[in-house]
Amino acid sequence: MKTTTIEIAKSEGSLFARLEVPANGKVRHYAIFAHCFTCNSNLSVVRYISRTLTNHGFGVVRFDFTGLGRSSGEFADSNFSGNVQDLITVAHYLEKQYEAPAMLIGHSLGGAAVLAAAAQLDSIKAIVTIGAPAEVDHVTHLFADGLNEIEQTGSAEVNIGGRPFRIKKQFVDDLKARNLLDTVKGLKIPYLIMHSPQDLTVGIENAAKLYHAAFHPKSFISLDGADHLLTNKVDAVYVADMIGTWAGKYFPELDEDLISTKGEQVVVHLDLENNFTSEVFTPHHTLIADEPKSVGGDDLGPSPYELLNASLGACTVMTLKMYAQRKGWDLQEVFCYLTYSKKHTDDLPEDLEVEAIGQIDHIQKTLEFVGDLDEKQRERLKQIASKCPVHKTLTSPTIIDTKLI
């Protein structure tokens, strides 16, 4: 994935945004992500979904609404209609600079905004909302304690999500003037509704109302156990994966979207904007590599040493399958458990012959066989496990020839 920071001009000021595209630069369709009320485009779930969709060939713009994050303007002067206009401004920017967006994704009030914007954008072919309200004035319960002051004085400073925001009467009036369900009834495009039954900010009944108002094809995915902001990474990644899979129904993937390996077996791509999250491509497959959070990564994929272990394990079980089949043995399943670590030679078992002294690289490989095998067969399979090609590569002198392009 490649990330570009962009500044989108509007009538007053500008919107800060990030455009994320597949590592090979080939974008099949563009999508816009609208974040939740008072949030910003750097929220974890926004980043996870953007990154996942790039793996499906999408270019994704995530941006900050007026007065939030790094976009210009004052939040107090904004309203829901302004949020919708921000979305339309981003869509027009995409159409002018790249290609008109085909999908809108919105979280919470951002979900309501994408529904309203979709009604004004002919290019939109699919919509996704996450924890979205069915009536936008539902948002006022977040600052219910300040409503009286807003009505009496025209504005009030309220606390939302632990941060102070100034809300003006025009914001409240604008919310009350919107009939979102009527808007949904007018949309005739695929619509995915995602909502948690445990959402305490926007209740699950909102999803039911949206689903009832929408036309087919419409889909609902329950985010069981998730909170409104999807603060648990597992929930955020689940949402991202589900959107990517669902979008595949309406935006089929193309094989040629894989990045070129330039004649080599593998290419690994890292955009430094994405921390350690790297994309691994072979001529026909792709996967994500990352580092665990304990060392500063985002843990979105296996670590380099986990991938090393996976390579050895895969080669081992494939070799054992071929050997057992050739022998006609009743080997039904193989499990190969592996762990890499640094160990001192003094801590190794005595039956291991090691010439070096001191700290060495150590891979523990444990095998589990399922099938009707006698002890002699099991012992022979253990010996064969050490003869797989990757095992031999790791235990023999290896030269890595590094060049520059």
Task: Report which of 35, 67, 37 is spatially closest to residue 48, judged by C-alpha positions.
Answer: 35
State the DSSP code for 259. P
Mean pLDDT split into 10-residue runs, the chain, 405 residues: 83 88 80 82 78 84 85 76 89 93 92 91 94 81 69 70 67 77 92 94 92 95 92 86 88 64 87 84 86 87 93 95 95 94 72 68 91 95 94 90 88
**pLDDT recorded at residue 246:** 92
CB 104 within 8 A of CB 31: yes
Q: Does any domain span residue 249?
A: yes
**Domain of 341: which CATH number?**
3.30.300.20
**pLDDT recorded at residue 37:** 72
Whether residue 268 sits in one domain with residue 239 = no
Alpha helices in 108-220 (DSSP H): 109-118, 147-153, 169-176, 180-185, 205-213
Whether residue 134 sits in one domain with residue 78 = yes
Whether residue 203 sits in one domain with residue 320 = no
**pLDDT recorded at residue 27:** 85
Domain that holds residue 264: 258-295
CB 336 within 8 A of CB 349: no
Whether residue 330 sits in one domain with residue 289 = no
Whether residue 124 sits in one domain with residue 8 = yes
**pLDDT recorded at residue 258:** 63
This prediction has a pTM of 0.65
Whether residue 94 sits in one domain with residue 121 = yes
**pLDDT recorded at residue 200:** 87
Q: Does any domain span residue 400?
A: no
Whether residue 176 sits in one domain with residue 138 = yes
Whether residue 275 sits in one domain with residue 246 = no
Query: Rounded distance, CA 202 to CA 182, Å?
Result: 19
